[in-house]
Structure 1
Amino acid sequence: MSTPRFKRILLKLSGEVLMGEGGLAIDPAVTGRVAEEIAAVRAMGHELCVVVGGGNIFRGISGAARGMDRATGDYMGMLATVMNALAVQNALEQIGVDTRVQSAIPMASVCEPFIRRRAERHLEKGRVVIFAAGVGSPYFTTDTGAALRAAEMKCDALFKGTSVDGVYDADPKQVPTAKRYETVSYDRVLADNLKVMDASAVALCRDNHIPIVVFNIRGEGNLAAVLQGEGTSTIVTDQESQ
């Protein structure tokens, strides 16, 4: 598959990516491996923003399902993303990568508030910018927050790191014959409910012509390989392969 060389990317990770096999919400060894992946891509000359979900600590929707007020649950989930962002920041800085965490919910004692022009300046200086707290409002997922930040930062692509190596026409864990798409259109993702990201995030990327690259973040070196056109992934874009 021929993959364009994207200069500035936003990497979206689920909070579960940071979990260890023993059920530890934030496993330092796993977080360190993710940091190594990010550092390798930065060393290749790419500019990186990162958004990490909070599902390893708290997920607002599940809280609402147990009777908690949805807005309260979502705010708690946003705070969980700040914890994950700080963990990723710590792992990156331990290996010499300069970072900044910017939160949509102001908390000046631990990180910067989100300021778009300041974030752009950080990227220009070679820093990795980690965006936390989603969009700062309830009822929006971190997928939508990632798509919004990708648009604001004029990213060339949004990279979605998952536990599978692309987008399939069925769940490959349940359907062995599921077909993986090389490229697939935004409209097919939405029409067929392919579960790449939530519908708002996909539509936002479509309207701003931001490709979504879905790949397996758990494989060592996969992020760099996909950026170089050598790894396995699916690109969600305006057109799809026939």
Structure 2
Amino acid sequence: MNQEGQPAYRRILLKLSGEAFMGAQEYGVDPAVLDQVAQEVAELSTLGVEVGIVIGGGNIFRGAGLAKGGMDRVTGDHMGMLATVINALALQDAIERTGRFCRVMSAIRINQVCEDYIRRRAVRHLEKGRIVVFAAGTGNPFFTTDSAAALRAIEINAELMIKATKVDGVYDADPMQRSDARRFERLTFDEALERRLGVMDTTALVMCRDNQLPLRVMNMFAKGDLQRLVMGEPVGTLVEGAIQ
């Protein structure tokens, strides 16, 4: 239980989809969305929360989609990794314009534009109050950025992983298509896996479950909800090892 006025979590990992950065556009990055995300993250950092971020690249390239069009899957996934670097650099710029320090660390070597991912260095950045954006997924093809987020969260000993989406939690059906869709307050990882609720991919969920890393699914675009969540309020859907 957190003390009055103090964050409930010392260190978190925030997973952002690349598609979220598009806003109302068909592709690319919407500057207004970027600035909103950067401001929300900067506010957490100001509160003393250590923030790591993993971003997808679906607003630019998606390796699996390219593969369906006939491209070699490994080549497509490498292009997708580079897309996440573009998004990470854009977010770094937006965060630094808020006055906070930010580092981009890539799982593939692009030394002229960002740092290599080294776990100990990443943790040191966090300890110094810098926001760290992890780019290029795991650095390997066939792994999603959901899996990369789970991996990085475990490696940096995050107390919570937050998956920021366009809806306010996990539902038993698509709330955009079904008005009677029911939102879950809490789930176990096994329930999410058995019911195939699409919370994250199977690899990511299993990694979180096996390493006892709780997950919150929330709407990134509900202003103030991210801060409320980190302060300990029950925002979105909690997915954890077992319901007590």
**Do these two structures clear the TM 0.5 threshold for a shared fold by scoring above it?**
yes
The residue aligned with 2:161 is 158
Identity of aligned residues (%): 53
Letter in 1 for 2:173: A
- Quick one: distance in 2 between partners of 1:188 and 1:43? 36
Whether the 8 Å contact between 1:60 and 1:77 is mirrored in structure 2 is yes
Matches within 5 A, 1:66-215: 66-215=69-218
Secondary structure at 1:102 match in 2: strand
- Quick one: distance in 2 between partners of 1:25 and 1:231? 32
Q: Does 2:39 match 1:36?
A: yes
- Quick one: distance in 2 between partners of 1:30 and 1:24? 13
Letter in 2 for 1:205: C
- Quick one: distance in 2 between partners of 1:66 and 1:24? 18
Note the alpha carbon deviations across 1:33-73, whole angstroms, 9 max, x for none: 10001011111111000001000000001000111111100
- Quick one: distance in 2 between partners of 1:222 and 1:130? 21
- Quick one: distance in 1 between partners of 2:46 and 2:63? 36
Whether the 8 Å contact between 1:151 and 1:210 is mirrored in structure 2 is yes
How large is the RMSD of aligned CA atoms in angstroms? 1.4
TM-score where L is the length of structure 1: 0.95
Whether the 8 Å contact between 2:188 and 2:243 is mirrored in structure 1 is yes
Secondary structure at 1:174 match in 2: coil
The residue aligned with 2:222 is 219
Whether the 8 Å contact between 1:183 and 1:239 is mirrored in structure 2 is no
- Quick one: distance in 2 between partners of 1:94 and 1:108? 22
Gaps of 5+ in 2: none
| Pairwise CA distance, 1:232 | 2.9
- Quick one: distance in 2 between partners of 1:89 and 1:71? 27
Whether the 8 Å contact between 1:37 and 1:223 is mirrored in structure 2 is yes
Gaps of 5+ in 1: none
- Quick one: distance in 1 between partners of 2:214 and 2:156? 14
- Quick one: distance in 1 between partners of 2:173 and 2:29? 30
Secondary structure at 1:129 match in 2: strand
How many pairs were matched up?
239
| Pairwise CA distance, 1:239 | 1.8
The residue aligned with 1:56 is 59
Structure 1 segments (4+ residues) deviating >4 Å: none
Determine which of 230, 233, 241 is the counterpart of 2:233: 230
Secondary structure at 1:11 match in 2: strand
- Quick one: distance in 2 between partners of 1:238 and 1:120? 25
| Pairwise CA distance, 1:24 | 4.8
- Quick one: distance in 2 between partners of 1:84 and 1:23? 15
Whether the 8 Å contact between 1:32 and 1:91 is mirrored in structure 2 is yes
Secondary structure at 1:172 match in 2: coil
TM-score where L is the length of structure 2: 0.95
Would the alpha carbon gap of residues 154 and 108 (structure 1) be closer, same or farther in structure 2, given more than 3 Å must change?
same
